[in-house]
Structure 1
Amino acid sequence: MELMMLEFIRPTVASTVFIFSVTYLLFRAIYNIYFHPLRGIPGPKSWSATRIPFIWALLRGTIVHDIQKLHRKYGLVLRIAPNELTFADPSAWNDILQAHPGQPQFLKDPTWWAKQRIHTDGLISAIDPDTHARMRKALTPGFTTRALRSQEPVIQRYVNLLVERLSNMVDSASAGTEPAGGAAELEVDIAPWFNFTTFDVFGDLAFGESFNCLENSNYHPWVEILFQTPKMATMVAGARFYPWLESLLFSLIPPSLKKMQRDHWGQVVERVRRRMNYEVEREDIMSPILRENTKNEMTVDDINGSFMALVIAGSETTATVLTGMMNYLVWNPQYLKKVTDEVRGLGGDETEITLDSLRELKWLNAVLTEALRLCMPVPWVLPRRVPNGGGVVAGVTLPGQTLVSIQAYTMHRDPNNWYKAEEFLPERWLPGAYKPESKFYRDKKEASQPFSVGPRVCLGMHMAWAELRLITAKLLRAFDFEAVAGKRLEWESLKTFLLVEKQPVFVKMRHA
């Protein structure tokens, strides 16, 4: 009799739980669509009702493309989740990211920035403004234009090594053969070589030791692990929207993946420890911290946490812009010729090509600025939280704790902001473009903020510009580049997992 009762109760309890869950989710969706404080903001009902469409786009890597389509349909202000809006209005840069006197800042969303279990907070992940300001004060001296002057020989050395390695490859490709037209030619995927260079530069300037990617013509094992970090962080963030799912996810992580995470953190700690225990003959990023950290602005944990993120932020992002730039240049040979003629017109030998000599080159700067617009390595500025007292973004009054983000990818391709918005047109950044008779006169240049704005503006902006200019100039002086028929990469097809997930960019190259 008792067994019969148990058999009857089991399905009844299960059915009750199922019905209750479905009913709750249904009522929650109805509330989110029709009664939520954000109900008046345009957006698809499916995204407004639940986080699931957002998370699905996030995990597929199509988030910026999906949101771009939605912005085109619904306008510059878009509801992409029950409690989140995204903006493609240029005024959102200042409204969300700038500090405004007498008003609390829009803080980073912990869903994305709360530290993972074995890590410590660093400059990029610090949510508290005072903590961030303390760390930034200690780190800033290593990233100034003055510091860059003492760091230039290190950057020059690795860029020269890049040219040497590629030159050797061109020579090897034609060894023992008579090249057509008398010029040795090589087809190569140029994307990894930009990564090799930027990671080696940052490794040397941050830790006093290179990753030796250029020396070995291959990725350091740790760098290969670093490439997985953005995708893993995306998965963690997606799970954090449902705490029970986050707990389940961490319980299911295989031991091999946990070991990889520990090894990754251990690499940072060990490299920081080694750098702190010896002197370098020239200034690097760590030097001011060790010399001037008299008030303990940064603890060892702060340094570890900061440099873990800076390795990617100071390397992968610059390499992405260079890759995108080269992809656009070889398929737009008229601009490739202009910038090549300009850098070769400097004359002299390679020792005379300095950062100062490149700073004012109009076509070089225009090409790189256009690449930053179309190939921004962080195409989606992650959410901030509206302060408890509420706030106004792009003219929209919002309740406290609303999540707000900026869609740079959408803004950079919006025809309302740019003449022929999706085309690579570097002349839009030349001095003549600012004259009323120019077809680019109405371009909203303020829409493009590749280094962000406000208290968290990119700390490594000067270093990034130095690498962008020097790598581009020395490659174009040393080699002739050409597109490879049938192997065009459509940049707009690339997926985004916090950063752009690059694909091969094949080019033909020969000695200049």
Structure 2
Amino acid sequence: MVLFEMRGVVVAALLLLAYPICKIIYNLYFHPLAKVPGPRIWAATRLPYIRALIQGTIVHDFEKLHQVYGPVIRIAPDEVTFAQGEAYNDIFRIRQGHRQFLKDPIWWSRQPGQPNSILSAIEPESHARIRKILAPAFTTRALKAQEPLVQKYVNLLIERMHDKAAEAKNGQNGVEFDIGPWFNFTTFDIFGELGFGESFDCLQNSRYHPWIALLFNSVKAASFISATKFFPLVTFLLMKCIPESLKKMQKDHFQQIVDKVDRRLSWELDRPDFMSHVIKADGGTKMPMGEVYATFMVMTTAGSETTATTLSGTMNHLVAQPDILAKLTEEVRSAFMSESEMNLEALQGLQYLNAVLREGLRLCPPVPWMLPRVVPPGGDTVCGTWLPGGTTVSIQAYTLNRDPSYFHSATTFTPERWLPEASTNPKSPYFRDQRSAVQPFSVGPRECIGQHLAWAELRLILARLVWAFDFEAAGEKKLKWEELRTFLLVEKKPIDVRIKRRSE
């Protein structure tokens, strides 16, 4: 009897050992994706992917793999990623005769028991319903009515920068400080005012609101949780092991947005804001309250942090290249006699300002890789590569935007590539640049709903800063954007600059 039981244990152990070995052999040689280029270790198991995700190196690891294996690589047993401009059309747009590629539930689905948001609504019908309600709040017409509020907080930013510049002591050539948080202060305050009828008071208090501070402090943890979702048993055990204190912190974090939404719904404002498009004439809401809470929570982050990241990256490049900064400053200062003339419509016509920001979006994309979609049942073709249904696919924006086959001097910050003459003059070194490959706001039915607001903030904040102040790099402190890690959001590190009031 004992011998029989021992044999049973041995057989069970052998089966446990044999399963992963057989699985690896299948993934490498018999899987439908076996012929897709890529490193064998990544094709064999999800573990290298998980390691890169947790370490925050996933974007840079993908770039290195693309350099070795080409624009189409297999990065996991059931996942393929692309660094090709055509992938945007094939994956994100709705193609005639093709089924839609839906969001990958591992990345996008809401937590059990939680309401849907505009981001987590995987089914096209649910997403379209929510988007239709919110869309009028983000049109160019709506933005025109919102401009005074955007100007209000940019004015406050400029006031705070004057306070900073005044800290210079006699003989000092300006004041050195980290400008990165100030971009976040501004964009979060603007969204707070437009979304909830009240700002987060970051600029007023010169510090992060606790809700925002907690958001940034939990980014690494979010990457870890995302990694565990590839292993359901691990996710189950992890959820069981989360301490009550952490659960309470998460609940309190969500509750702060609930409170802001509820306060806004109890007010009657004499101006339109985002929430006004959600409220029905009888005082009710056009979508369930749970969806309102969840949607405004994710929009607060998506509508603020991404814009601030672009501004941080752009400013980091500008102070590192004084000639480009000087050219931008000259354009802005020569276009306006006073700050009061700098409205959103007037700023749209500044070619070099737009070029600088487009180059910032190219080299410092706030979303470095377009999170995965799933190939529909029956399979489909992406960039000429046939993929079976259920395959996870993504686009490496960071890699694509720096590909020398797409851009001349691909890793150099050069706004001139975005000027009109670059695309019309065959003698321009940037004539053959494939500018349409840069899609920071995505494309298709789920393209960024707030891109008009984002562009307005980018133009106004950067233009007002260079109009009022002289900037330069802070000593030898130079941040290399390429070294920042990605934990779903781009890692925050100091953007040290020296600022002084403009020299006449």
Category of TM-score, reference length = shorter chain: over 0.9
The alpha carbon displacement at 1:372 in A equals: 0.3
User: Partner letter of residue 257 of structure 1?
Assistant: L
After superposition, residues 294-373 of structure 1 pair within 5 angstroms as 297-373=286-362
The alpha carbon displacement at 1:484 in A equals: 1.7
Q: Deviations over 1:356-403 (max 9, x none)?
A: 110110110000000000000101111101110211100111111111
How far apart, CA to CA, are the structure 1 residues paired with 2:101 and 2:189? 35
User: Partner letter of residue 494 of structure 2?
Assistant: P
Matched, 1:130 2:122: no
1:506 aligns to what? 496
The alpha carbon displacement at 1:13 in A equals: 6.3
Q: Deviations over 1:398-436 (max 9, x none)?
A: 111111100101100100000010000000000110121
2:212 aligns to what? 223
Change (3 A) 1:104 1:263: same
After superposition, residues 408-427 of structure 1 pair within 5 angstroms as 408-427=397-416
1:464 aligns to what? 454
How far apart, CA to CA, are the structure 1 residues paired with 2:281 and 2:86? 38
Contact persistence 1:367–1:426 (CA under 8 A): yes
Change (3 A) 1:11 1:489: farther
2:428 aligns to what? 438
User: Partner letter of residue 322 of structure 2?
Assistant: P
2:249 aligns to what? 260
Contact persistence 1:138–1:293 (CA under 8 A): no
Contact persistence 1:119–1:265 (CA under 8 A): no
**Percent of aligned positions that are identical:** 52
Match of 2:171 among 141, 159, 179: 179
Contact persistence 2:279–2:286 (CA under 8 A): no
The alpha carbon displacement at 1:292 in A equals: 6.9
1:55 aligns to what? 50
Contact persistence 2:83–2:396 (CA under 8 A): yes
How far apart, CA to CA, are the structure 1 residues paired with 2:4 and 2:460? 74
Local SS of the residue matching 2:134: helix
The alpha carbon displacement at 1:23 in A equals: 1.2
Gapped runs of 5+ residues in structure 1?
A: none
1:209 aligns to what? 198
User: Partner letter of residue 483 of structure 2?
Assistant: S
When the two structures are aligned, how many residues end up with a matched partner?
A: 501
Local SS of the residue matching 1:449: coil
Match of 2:466 among 449, 464, 476: 476
1:196 aligns to what? 185
Local SS of the residue matching 2:409: coil
Change (3 A) 1:14 1:233: farther
Matched, 1:75 2:70: yes
1:64 aligns to what? 59
Q: Deviations over 1:311-339 (max 9, x none)?
A: 11000000000000000000011110011
Change (3 A) 1:10 1:507: farther
Change (3 A) 1:359 1:102: same
Gapped runs of 5+ residues in structure 2?
A: none
User: Partner letter of residue 370 of structure 1?
Assistant: E
How far apart, CA to CA, are the structure 2 residues paired with 1:13 and 1:94? 54
Local SS of the residue matching 1:438: coil
Contact persistence 1:30–1:49 (CA under 8 A): yes
Matched, 1:153 2:143: no
1:485 aligns to what? 475
User: Partner letter of residue 97 of structure 1?
Assistant: F
Q: Deviations over 1:141-185 (max 9, x none)?
A: 1100000011111110101101101211221342xxx224xx6x1
Local SS of the residue matching 2:458: helix
The alignment's C-alpha RMSD in Å is: 1.8
User: Partner letter of residue 171 of structure 2?
Assistant: P
Q: Deviations over 1:56-108 (max 9, x none)?
A: 10111000100110011001110000010000011000000001234321000
1:96 aligns to what? 91
Q: Deviations over 1:456-476 (max 9, x none)?
A: 010000000000000001111
Matched, 1:34 2:37: no
Matched, 1:449 2:449: no
Change (3 A) 1:335 1:165: same
How far apart, CA to CA, are the structure 2 residues paired with 1:13 and 1:453? 56
User: Partner letter of residue 474 of structure 2?
Assistant: V
Change (3 A) 1:127 1:161: same
Contact persistence 2:279–2:285 (CA under 8 A): no
Change (3 A) 1:15 1:158: farther
Local SS of the residue matching 1:383: strand
User: Partner letter of residue 426 of structure 1?
Assistant: P
How far apart, CA to CA, are the structure 1 residues paired with 2:167 and 2:385? 61
After superposition, residues 266-281 of structure 1 pair within 5 angstroms as 266-281=255-270
The alpha carbon displacement at 1:297 in A equals: 4.7
2:138 aligns to what? 143
How far apart, CA to CA, are the structure 2 residues paired with 1:331 and 1:173? 22
How far apart, CA to CA, are the structure 1 residues paired with 2:454 and 2:417? 21
How far apart, CA to CA, are the structure 2 residues paired with 1:293 and 1:481? 51
User: Partner letter of residue 417 of structure 2?
Assistant: R
Match of 2:158 among 156, 163, 178: 163
The alpha carbon displacement at 1:352 in A equals: 1.5
2:18 aligns to what? 23
How far apart, CA to CA, are the structure 1 residues paired with 2:151 and 2:63? 39
Contact persistence 2:81–2:395 (CA under 8 A): yes
How far apart, CA to CA, are the structure 1 residues paired with 2:281 and 2:36? 49
How far apart, CA to CA, are the structure 2 residues paired with 1:425 and 1:52? 38
User: Partner letter of residue 352 of structure 1?
Assistant: E
Contact persistence 1:134–1:297 (CA under 8 A): no
Contact persistence 2:130–2:287 (CA under 8 A): yes
After superposing the two structures, state which structure 1 stretch, 58-67 or 254-263, moved more. 254-263
